[in-house]
Structure 1
């Protein structure tokens, strides 16, 4: 295998295209959320992940699981939780069965902001994907994104 191996070159180009798509989507979502809701894309993701917790067995995520879900280190996730807690969007409490564990929940204000921001997030995501779909190198990746979980419905789509 050489440095100019065609298979590795193609793989590197594919990875570059995936990175480009991710960067464009994240940038579009970030700008929209900041402009409309003073919320970063990471903050939105954290609120979204934590809003899906429940009180049943295994319903609350440990900080390591939260960090994995929002693709941050544990220390960066802890700082993010602290910032949102300072804004009144999250609260922490001790695990009732293990006093060493600390859980994080979304407050009512946090849930309200998340619901207000969700349409902004989805619209920015849709627009970024639609724009990327017009570029030949990104179009196959956009199709793959749509196939993963099904297409995100547009507000004007009717069943």
Structure 2
């Protein structure tokens, strides 16, 4: 086996471990949010990202930016926004300066649900990371997640 083969195998194993960690966390969050708040992990993520918008310059995200922030296709993001809008958790409106632009805001009901769900989300995330840290394949990734700068706004592009 060549050094290139060994490196390729190492990359594949690293990618597998990262995917495994993501899947475990996503499943744990999904169960907790669904049972406690009738929210999917993606719905929670969308509400969270949109709740950080502000009225100042560059404070609102266009739908393509929202799609990037929640890691969904544009069409899947539109369907997700529509579902939450139908539940009264989001509202959409045209951009005042560019009539082609559509913005989405979290409604007061959406903010209330997000605030109610946040402790569940955070506890489930902590549980999932604690469980994953016991797996030697995942422990380095958990350590990395735990050391990422908390001030970073990954929801904002």
Q: Report the TM-score when normalising by structure 1.
A: 0.91
1:118: Cα distance to partner? Answer: 0.3
- Equivalent position SS for 1:14: helix
Residue 35 of structure 1 corresponds to 35
Alignment of 1:1-159 (within 5 A): 5-150=5-150
Residue 157 of structure 1 corresponds to none
Distance 2:63 2:125 in 1: 27
Which runs of no fewer than 5 residues in structure 2 stay unpaired? Answer: 151-157
Which runs of no fewer than 5 residues in structure 1 stay unpaired? Answer: 151-159
Aligned residues: 149
Residue 153 of structure 2 corresponds to none
Structure 1 vs Structure 2 CA RMSD? 1.3
1:94: Cα distance to partner? Answer: 1.1
Q: Report the TM-score when normalising by structure 2.
A: 0.92
Higher relative contact order (CA 8 A, sep 6+): 2
Deviation string, structure 1 residues 27-72 (Cα, Å, up to 9, x no partner) = 0000000000000000000000000000100000010000000000
Q: Give every structure 1 segment of 4 or more consecutive aligned residues whose post-TM-superposition deviation is greater than 2 Å.
A: none
